[in-house]
Amino acid sequence: MNSRPSHGHLLIISHTPHYRRDGEIVGWGATVREIDYLATLFERVVHIAPLHADAAPASALPYQSSQVRLRPVAPGGGARLRDKLSIPLRYPGYARAILQERRAADVIHVRSPANISLLALMILAMLRGPQVRWAKYAGDWNRTGPEPWSYRFQRWWLAHGLHRGLVTVNGRWPNQASHIRSFLNPCLTEAELKEGADASRSKRLGKPVQLLFVGRLESAKGADVCVETVVHLKEAGVAARLDLIGEGEERRVLECKAIDLGVAESAKFHGGLPRERLGQFYARAHFILLPSESEGWPKVLSEAMAYGAVPMASAVSSIPQYLNAFSAGHAINSRDPHLFGSAIETYVGAPALWKEHSMNALKAAKQFSYDNYLRAVRKLLNLPLSLECDVADSAEPEFQGDA
């Protein structure tokens, strides 16, 4: 990780969950890794985010950078009605933390959508400083289906630039305003890219076909569709093995489903695992499955692609744009397991096509490196480039047909 001299103070406001584990603070692993890299660009980073009393998941990580300080706030929101009604009670504490910490900030970075980010965006509309403001919308920027009203409102607010700053989104959309920038979600170190490239060289599409799901074990993420896809392949005479990594309230239901459908031996549930243990699964996988109802651009696709796994995902948000640009995998316009199974069968009948898409995925994954991300953030925020930066690199996706 680069630790060159940095520029000013960064204030981050997000709903990233944090926990206490063995006397130290840990947070959602993917976000903690990203912030550790962001910290190399700044003298100090303050992160306002909720601190939960629950046990930390296996994927949670401590910050490695000494320049990062967590300003904890109380969690708010949830699935139950009483949890939703408690949100306004949290706002005074959120506002106090934001107003106190913003005084020393040179750059404010708000990660949306979330309840605390909604308040932060509204506060920014009333403040004169700091002038450098960057909002990241991590969800589906072009969502048309059901969703929380606050998500739709935050997109409207950001689209109209009422926070008076930049917005980064997944994908590229019609009539995209100049303050809205297409941006890639970073998730890969140079060491992980090398490890993935080494693993992919010897990978061939054989039997059984290795399928992988990484995420929350719930129907919204499509874990049930993955199990049913194994059933379809079995009925089609294609031997397949599915590894499911993650936790969720529906895990027991899904395990029973696999038993009832007769694929318990082919669908293995591993629970939540830390990032350093995922490499072996990515290296083994022929396909990464994500039949999700809603996404922005899921980092698990990028991580698996770095190991030559071919993505098979729902055609939501930016996923069809990216997979078409990368010529890798399929974005499927349904969460029907028969369609996912049929797409996999196509590759089984054409292993050379699978290998081509596997290599395309491997090549595309390089765009999701942290090094590429830091160069793009410097350009986005107009920070001075370090000597080793290649100004031609960018964290904007390389869409086919772009000028």
342 vs 84, more confident:
342
CB neighbours of 276 closer than 8 A, spacing ≥ 6? none
Residues 342-362: pLDDT tens digits?
A: 999 999 999 999 999 999 999
Least confident range of 42-56, 65-79, 383-397: 383-397
The CA distances from residue 287 to 284, 356, 361, in Å, are 9, 13, 11
CB 246 within 8 A of CB 288: no
User: pLDDT-derived band of residue 391, with 50, 70 and 90 as boundaries?
Assistant: very low
User: pLDDT-derived band of residue 82, with 50, 70 and 90 as boundaries?
Assistant: confident
The two tokens of residue 384 are 């001075």
Instruction: Give φ, ψ of 293 to 5 degrees.
Output: -75, -35
pLDDT the model gives residue 392: 46
Instruction: Give φ, ψ of 240 to 5 degrees.
Output: -145, 150
Query: At the top level of CATH, which class does the domain 190-365 belong to?
Result: alpha beta
Q: Measured between alpha carbons, how far is 103 from 106 in angstroms, rounded to an integer?
A: 9
CATH topology of domain 9-186+369-381: Rossmann fold (3.40.50)
Mark residue 209 as left, alpha or beta (left: phi above 0; alpha: psi -120 to 50; beta: remaining): beta
The CA distances from residue 24 to 16, 39, 46, 63, 369, in Å, are 16, 19, 17, 10, 28
**Own/partner pairs, 329-334, CB within 8 angstroms, 24+ separation:** 329/287, 329/357, 329/361, 332/291
Residues 149-191: pLDDT tens digits?
A: 999 999 999 999 999 999 999 999 999 999 999 999 999 999 9
1 vs 276, more confident:
276
Q: Measured between alpha carbons, how far is 322 from 170 in angstroms, rounded to an integer?
A: 9
CB 274 within 8 A of CB 253: no
The size of the chain, in residues, is: 403
The two tokens of residue 8 are 């000013």
pLDDT the model gives residue 247: 94
Which segments of the chain belong to CATH 3.40.50.2000?
9-186+369-381, 190-365
Q: Are strands 44-50 and 68-73 parallel, antiparallel or unpaired?
A: parallel
For residue 15, give the nearest of 63, 49, 52 by alpha carbon. 49
DSSP three-state, residue 337: helix
Residues 117-146: pLDDT tens digits?
A: 999 999 999 998 899 999 999 999 998 888
- Return the amino acid letter for 4: R
For residue 379, give the nearest of 236, 181, 93 by alpha carbon. 181
Residues 188-223: pLDDT tens digits?
A: 999 999 999 999 988 999 999 999 999 999 999 999
User: pLDDT-derived band of residue 235, with 50, 70 and 90 as boundaries?
Assistant: very high
Q: What is the DSSP string of 77-134?
A: --SSHHHHHTHHHHHHHHHHHHHHHGGG-SEEEEEESSHHHHHHHHHHHH----SEEE
Average pLDDT over the chain, rounded to whole? 93
Least confident range of 57-66, 75-84, 188-197, 213-222: 75-84
Q: Are strands 166-169 and 132-137 parallel, antiparallel or unpaired?
A: parallel
